[in-house]
């Protein structure tokens, strides 16, 4: 059986559908925090394994849970009553022969570094407690990493899917959160927190955006000031989005939809630390964005969480990222393709660079036939699979964002 299958799709692309729904959980959302922190821990372990043993050893740090704390919000600045708790699991090689690694220390330091770099008002020493549950994996899997020669065998049976290009709706939702969490925006509006969530709903050419983003109570002296600041923020966001529109028209943009003037503290989205994990919402790995940063409801989506998984052996991570990159490259380099969807599947123990199936579904430009693009697509797929060992090392170095 030919492992590469190319199929032409008929009907509308996602951008041509009447209705499209896209969401993004931003930098400070509890689910995004879990994904990003666990990925950072995997990077740290990978570096240490390479340094000490010359190879990235068995680990999967993909069972993260951020338990919400407790705060008291007040105009002019509240305070933390109970710290958040970060549970870090699942498996990591802790020793090779007589040489041991302090994986707990590595994991906690990596988590603290990420928190310190990305959440301005979270003190990782005072506002977070750490529970590390990284235990040794099975002897069979651990041995496969130590004894490998060349490309590693997949340490799970799994599949993944990616697509390109992004629709304008997807691009706008992604851009909205990135703008609100950009250094330029935070310098202009330092009263805004990092826990941004954006939902775009498109009907025809009209897109409505619903955005949630807390205001830090230390910057807000009264209810009236909250709504004055909110109005200025919303006007800046509308201006930015209008400047990024191509074919779509901006309909309604709502910021902090639950706000209710006159209801006091209960009618405003205020925060002490800038993330709802301070007391309102816990987070978990795998409940947030796909590796391209979006939750695109009109798109196919695999069930694997990529964050924290092993970058050289776990196809649930490798293929998740690779499918999106492969789809983007095919769309960019091969003329005549309006939309590309790439599926990769493999079985445990099989070489990562030899998937059981590579399935490509393409929407063709009028006048282009499948015969025109079939061979170039196959050549590009084989080229990317040929550089998979290099790609896996790049994954381990954090070259590709996963949330």
Residue ranges per structural domain of the chain: 14-25+167-278
Q: Write the CB contacts of 243 (distance below 8 Å, at least 6 apart in sequence).
A: none
**Tokens 């989205």 belong to residue:** 269
Residues of the chain with pLDDT under 70: 1, 138-150
Q: Can you tell me the distance from the alpha carbon of 403 to that of 25, in angstroms, rounded to the nearest whole number?
A: 9
**Tokens 């599947």 belong to residue:** 345
Tens of pLDDT, residue by residue over 159-215, are 999 999 999 999 999 999 999 999 999 999 999 999 999 999 999 999 999 999 999
pLDDT value at residue 137 = 73
Mean pLDDT of all residues in the chain?
95
380 backbone dihedrals φ, ψ, rounded to 5°: -70, -40
pLDDT value at residue 29 = 98
**241, 242, 248, 253 alpha-carbon torsion, rounded to 10°:** 60
Residue (of 167, 267, 181, 255) closest to 220 by Cα position: 267
Q: What is the pTM of this model?
A: 0.95
Q: Can you tell me the distance from the alpha carbon of 160 to that of 162, in angstroms, rounded to the nearest whole number?
A: 7
CB 269 within 8 A of CB 214: yes
Q: Among the CATH numbers 3.30.920.30, 3.30.1330.10, 3.40.50.1580, 3.30.300.340, which is that of 14-25+167-278? A: 3.30.300.340
* Residue 202 structure tokens: 């498109």
pLDDT value at residue 156 = 87
**Local structure of residue 105 (DSSP, 8 states):** H
Q: Can you tell me the distance from the alpha carbon of 116 to that of 111, in angstroms, rounded to the nearest whole number?
A: 9
Residue (of 168, 165, 163, 175) closest to 24 by Cα position: 175
pLDDT value at residue 152 = 80
pLDDT value at residue 267 = 96
Tens of pLDDT, residue by residue over 234-249, are 999 999 999 999 999 9
Q: Can you tell me the distance from the alpha carbon of 79 to that of 75, in angstroms, rounded to the nearest whole number?
A: 11
Residue 158: which H helix or E strand, with range? strand 158-164
pLDDT value at residue 8 = 97
pLDDT value at residue 72 = 97
pLDDT value at residue 153 = 86
CB 381 within 8 A of CB 360: yes
Residue (of 267, 188, 254, 192) closest to 222 by Cα position: 267
How many separate helices (H) and strands (E) can be counted in the chain?
A: 9, 19
pLDDT value at residue 370 = 97
pLDDT value at residue 50 = 94
């Amino acid at each position: 059986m030919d492992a590469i299958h190319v199929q032409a799709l008929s009907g509308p692309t996602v951008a041509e559908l009447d209705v499209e729904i896209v969401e993004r959980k931003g930098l400070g959302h509890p689910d995004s925090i879990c994904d990003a922190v666990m990925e950072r821990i995997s990077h740290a372990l990978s570096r240490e394994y390479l340094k000490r043993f010359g190879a990235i050893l068995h680990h999967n740090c993909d069972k993260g849970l951020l338990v919400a704390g407790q705060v008291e919000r007040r105009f002019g600045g509240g305070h933390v009553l109970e710290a958040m708790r970060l549970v870090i699991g699942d498996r990591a090689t802790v020793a090779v022969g007589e040489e041991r690694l302090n994986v707990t220390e590595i994991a906690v330091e990596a988590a603290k570094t990420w928190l310190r770099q990305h959440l301005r008002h979270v003190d990782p020493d005072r506002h977070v407690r750490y529970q590390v549950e990284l235990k040794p994996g099975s002897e069979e899997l651990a041995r496969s990493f130590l004894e490998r020669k060349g490309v590693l065998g997949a340490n799970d049976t799994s599949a993944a899917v990616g697509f390109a290009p992004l629709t304008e709706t997807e691009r706008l939702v992604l851009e909205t959160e990135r703008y609100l969490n950009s250094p330029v925006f935070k310098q202009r509006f330092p009263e805004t927190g990092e826990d941004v969530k954006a939902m775009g709903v498109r009907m025809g050419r009209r897109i409505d955006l619903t955005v949630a983003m807390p205001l830090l109570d230390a910057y807000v002296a009264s209810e009236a000031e909250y709504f004055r600041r909110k109005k200025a923020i919303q006007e800046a966001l509308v201006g930015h989005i209008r400047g990024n529109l191509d074919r779509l028209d901006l309909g309604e943009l709502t910021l902090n939809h639950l706000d209710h003037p006159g209801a006091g503290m209960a009618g405003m989205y205020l925060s002490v630390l800038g993330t709802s994990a301070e007391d309102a919402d816990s987070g978990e790995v795998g409940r947030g964005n796909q590796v391209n940063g979006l939750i695109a409801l009109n798109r196919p989506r695999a069930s694997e969480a990529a964050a924290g998984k092993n970058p050289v052996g776990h196809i649930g991570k490798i293929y998740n990222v690779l499918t999106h990159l492969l789809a983007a490259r095919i769309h960019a380099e091969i003329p005549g393709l309006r939309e590309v969807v790439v599926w990769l599947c493999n079985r445990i123990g099989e070489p990562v660079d030899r998937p059981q199936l590579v399935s490509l579904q393409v929407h063709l430009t009028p006048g282009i036939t499948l015969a025109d693009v079939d061979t170039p697509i196959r050549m590009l797929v084989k080229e990317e699979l040929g550089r998979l060992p290099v790609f896996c090392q790049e994954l381990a170095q954090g070259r590709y964002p996963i949330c």
